[in-house]
């Protein structure tokens, strides 16, 4: 709050100011035109320059910008070199590989949340290497995943995306190369070089909500109470972690190592086992597809392909309200005919 003058002493002073002004520049005829009750902007700082009304209580000129805004601008100026332009461009003092608000170079984009970390992404070289291992050398996905510590799902996704990229290159489609290059400088990256550690945990299992409770299970001290027993104690249908491993072949590999098998032999065995499991999975999927195709009758017309399937309308579940049951059932409304109810797809087929 600017200092204020008491009202009683205000008017005479203003008058005095403007009179002084007039006498000082008495040579100029325009000065006479200035009304006595309204001091001009050129008058001394004790007068109120911005106000157009005769009643002005403040002796200091009003600020053109608020304190908050000023501080904001100052902050921007202070951090311009580090944050404004991405690293690698002119006028940027930031190092490539992530500059964030979090203190002392930590990869925390949010200063208040230290639990969220900007983790490295796979570099373009790593993308190409994974694609080469899978598509050219024909390595099983699980083997590539175990070799570099990259999640199997990520390996599959990288291959999928690289295939699209290769297709675009062949079609000469325009790609966002400058954008990708700029982001490479902004993000921390992992090259999957031999010296680097694993990229991410590859054998993570979801924590089942049944296992989040604390149980007291009385057993004898001599009993071998294993992971399988613990799973059974939490619930009949709860599987032990051994059955939920994403790459169970890795456990066998480690078991071989513990037994003293030559690492190279164990490794070959592991690769063979993963290839075999992937082949088995593919065969299973193909068999399911074939079975579904056999149940289906396709009728090709000019415009549509009709696919007709045999449906048993009796299969409506124990309460008659099973989700995939078809046909009109007593007491079950057709939700698709209500006004204003639009259906958002829950999945998009490949």
Partner 1 sequence: MRQRRLLRFHGLKRPRVRQTWNKYNLYNLYRMKTPFFNPKTFFQQKWIAKGLARGYHGEHIKEYQWERMFSRRLLSAVNMDPAYMARYDGSEQAAGRGSGLQVAPGTKASDVPRNKGNLDARTPYMQMVFAPMERRLDIAIFRAMFASSARQARQFVLHGAVTVNGKRMRHPSYLLNPGDLFQVDVERVLTATGQPKRPNQGGNKSPSSTPQEDIAEEEESEPSASASPESTSERKPSDAAKEAHRKALLDLKERAKRFMWAKNDALRAKQKKAIRKILRDIKVALSRNTGNQEEFDAAEAELTSLIDNLTLSPAELRAKRDEEQRKKSELDEARLEKHKADPTLLTPTQHKLLAHLAASEAENPHDPSKPYATPWRPRDWMAPFAFIPRYLEVNHRICAAVYLRHPVARPGLAEVPTPFSPILSQLAFTWYLKRR
The residue within the footprint of partner 1, chosen from 22, 34, 83, 261 (CB under 8 A), is: 83
* Tokens standing for residue 117: 């970390």
User: Exactly one of 250, 266, 271, 273 binds partner 1 (CB under 8 A); which one?
Assistant: 250
Structure tokens at 262: 């030559």
Identify which of residues 160 and 284 has a Cβ nearer to partner 1 in the complex. Answer: 160
**What residues numbered 170-199 form the site for partner 1, per CB under 8 A?**
174-180, 182-183, 186-187
Q: Which stretch binds partner 1 (CB under 8 A): 11-19, 51-59, 206-214, 297-305?
A: 206-214
Sketch the per residue contact string, 96 through 115, with partner 1: x for CB under 8 A, - otherwise: --xxxx-----x-xxxxx-x
Listed in sequence order, the residues at least 6 apart from 247 whose beta carbon sits closer than 8 Å to its beta carbon are 142, 145, 146, 152, 202, 203, 274
Nearer to partner 1, 204 or 268 (CB): 204
Q: In the range 33-52, which residues lie near partner 1 by CB under 8 A?
A: none
Output DSSP code: residue 126. H
Cα gap 234→220, rounded to integer Å = 18
Exposure on the CB side of residue 59, measured as CA atoms within 13 A: 13
69, 272, 284, 321: which one binds partner 1 (CB under 8 A):
69
CB of residue 56 to partner 1, shortest distance in Å: 25
Contact 92, 84 (CB under 8 A): yes
Encoding tokens for residue 295?
Answer: 């149940």
Closer by beta carbon to partner 1, 49 or else 107: 107
- Residue 344 binds partner 1, judged by CB under 8 A: yes
Q: How far is CA 110 from the centre of its chain?
A: 13
Minimum CB–partner distance for residue 106 and partner 1 (Å): 12
* Ranges within 254-293 binding partner 1 (CB under 8 A): 254-255, 257-258
What are the C-alpha distances in Å from 18 to residues 11, 21, 39, 57, 101? Answer: 11, 5, 6, 16, 53
């Amino acid at each position: 709050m600017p200092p204020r003058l008491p009202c009683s002493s205000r008017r005479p002073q203003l008058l005095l100011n403007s009179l002084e002004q007039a006498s000082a520049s008495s040579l100029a005829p325009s000065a006479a035109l200035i009304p006595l009750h309204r001091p001009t902007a050129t008058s001394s700082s004790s007068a109120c320059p911005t106000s157009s009304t005769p009643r002005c209580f403040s002796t200091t000129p009003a600020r053109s910008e608020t304190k908050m805004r000023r501080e904001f601008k100052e902050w921007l100026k202070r951090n311009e070199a580090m944050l404004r332009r991405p690293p690698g461009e002119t006028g940027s003092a930031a190092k490539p590989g992530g500059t964030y608000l979090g203190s002392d170079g930590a990869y925390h984009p949010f200063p208040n949340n230290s639990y969220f970390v900007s983790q490295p992404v796979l570099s373009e070289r790593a993308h190409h290497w994974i694609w080469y291992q899978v598509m050219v050398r024909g390595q099983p996905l699980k083997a590539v995943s175990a070799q570099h510590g990259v999640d199997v799902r990520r390996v599959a996704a990288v291959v999928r995306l690289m295939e699209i990229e290769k297709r675009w290159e062949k079609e000469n489609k325009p790609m966002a190369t400058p954008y990708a290059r700029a982001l490479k400088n902004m993000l921390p990256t992992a090259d999957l070089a031999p010296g680097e550690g694993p990229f991410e945990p590859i054998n993570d299992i979801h924590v089942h909500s049944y296992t989040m409770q604390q149980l007291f299970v009385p057993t004898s001290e001599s009993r071998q109470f294993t992971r399988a027993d613990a799973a059974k104690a939490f619930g009949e249908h709860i599987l032990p972690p051994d059955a939920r491993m994403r790459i169970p072949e890795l456990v066998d590999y480690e078991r071989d190592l513990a037994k003293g098998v030559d690492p190279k032999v164990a490794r070959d065995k592991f690769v063979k086992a993963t290839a075999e499991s992937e082949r088995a999975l593919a065969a299973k999927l193909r068999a399911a597809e074939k079975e579904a195709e056999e149940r289906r009758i396709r009728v090709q017309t000019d415009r549509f392909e009709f696919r007709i399937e045999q449906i048993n309308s009796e299969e409506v579940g124990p309460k008659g309200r099973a989700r995939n049951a078809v046909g009109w059932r007593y007491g079950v409304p057709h939700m698709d005919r209500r006004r204003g109810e639009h259906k958002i797809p829950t999945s998009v087929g490949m």
